[in-house]
Amino acid sequence: MSGIILPGADGVLYQRDRAWHPAADTPGYKSTTFRAPKHSLLALGPTKSEMTGPTFGHEKLGPLDNDLIRNFSQDGTEAIGQRMIVYGQVLDENARAVPGTLVEFWQANAGGRYRHKKEAYLAALDPNFAGFGRAVTDENGFYSFRTVKPGAYPWPNGGNDWRPAHIHFSVFGHAFAQRLITQMYFEGDPMIWQCPIVATINDKAAIDQLTARLDRHNTTPMDALAYRFDIVLRGRRSTMFENKLEGN
C-alpha cells in the first residue's frame, strides 16, 4: 500500500494504492472482460448533491431487518440452515468507529440458491428465507445480524467453478452516491482458494481481510454461531471494495 498523505477535511487521508485493486479485466473471471471499460476513465469530481444527499432515513428500519432467519417467514417458520450471528465494526482510515451508517447484506440460502428471478441453480428455495437485510451501526460503529450460513454454489464461468460461501455487503456514506460494496467469506473455507473471483485479488492479506473470523465468545448458546467481519472504509488497512477502483 502506498502511504501518500493528502490533506483531508478532518486530518489526513491515506491515498489508495491503485495497483492494489484487481485489474478491471481479469480473464479468469470471464464476465469482467465484457464489463471492463474499453476507453480510459474520466475523472468526474463529486458535486454538492453527491456529497450531501439524499440520505437514508434511519427511522425506516424495521425490527426484523437484521434478522434474516425471520424476516421472510411466511407462517412463523424460521429459515433452514446453520444459524449464525454476523457482526463487526465499521472503521475509518484512522481506526475510528463509524456510527450511524447503513450496512446492507444479501446472500444465497443454505443450499446455495438466491431468491432472484434470474437464479438458475437447482438447489431448493427455502420458502421462509429471502436472503437480504440491513442494519445501522451503533455509536461504536458495530452492526450485527442473524442469518443462516449460505451454501457454496456453482456458476458457469469455467464450466464447473464454485463460489465459496459468502455474503455480499454494501455500506453507505453520508449520501446515496457514496456506496461501497464487498463480499465476506468464512474462515477456514477451502473453497476460497479455488474461486476465480477471489483469485483476481493478488494480495493474500486483502483476501484475509474479507474473511470473517469464527468468534466462539459471541455465540448465542445452543442456538447460533458467531462470525466477526470488520470493515475498514479506506486507507492503508482498507477492506477490498469491488466498486472502488480509485480515489481514497
Ligand X SMILES: O=C(O)c1ccc(O)c(O)c1
The grid coordinates listed for 229 are 467481519
CB 31, min distance to ligand X, A? 4
Q: Which is nearer to ligand X, 119 or 246 (CB)?
A: 119
76 close to 219: Cβ distance less than 8 angstroms: no
121 part of the interface to ligand X, by CB under 6 A? no
Which of the residues 30 through 49 are near ligand X (CB under 6 A)?
31
Other Cβ atoms less than 10 A from the Cβ of 182: the count is 20
Active-site annotation holder among 114, 143, 185, 227: 114
Distance CA 76, CA 54 (A): 35
What is the nearest approach in angstroms of ligand X to the Cβ of residue 171? 17
Please give the size of the binding site for ligand X, defined by CB under 6 A.
3
Shortest Cβ 106–ligand X spacing (Å): 10
The residue among 83 and 163 lying less far from ligand X, judged by its C-beta, is 163
Cα distances (angstroms) measured from residue 123 to each of 79, 81, 109, 226: 15, 13, 9, 25
Binding marks (x or -) toward ligand X, 145..184, rule CB under 6 A? ----------x-------x---------------------
Q: Is 168 an annotated catalytic residue?
A: yes
Measured between its terminal Cα atoms, the distance across the chain in Å is: 12
Considering the complex, state which of residue 31 and residue 33 has its C-beta at the smaller distance from ligand X.
Answer: 31
Compute the least distance from the CB of residue 81 to ligand X, in Å.
18
Whether 153 is catalytic is: yes
Active-site annotation holds for 217: no
Q: Which three cell numbers stand for residue 84?
A: 449464525
CB distance 29 to 196 below 8 Å: yes
CA distance 49 to 16: 24
How many Cα atoms within 13 Å fall on the side-chain side of residue 97?
12
Is 185 a residue of the active site?
Answer: no
Q: Whole-number minimum distance, CB 150 to ligand X, in Å?
A: 10
116 catalytic, yes or no? no
Region class of 5: left (phi > 0), else alpha (psi between -120 and 50), else beta: beta
Active site residues: 114, 153, 163, 166, 168
- Give contact residues for ligand X (rule: CB under 6 A): 31, 155, 163
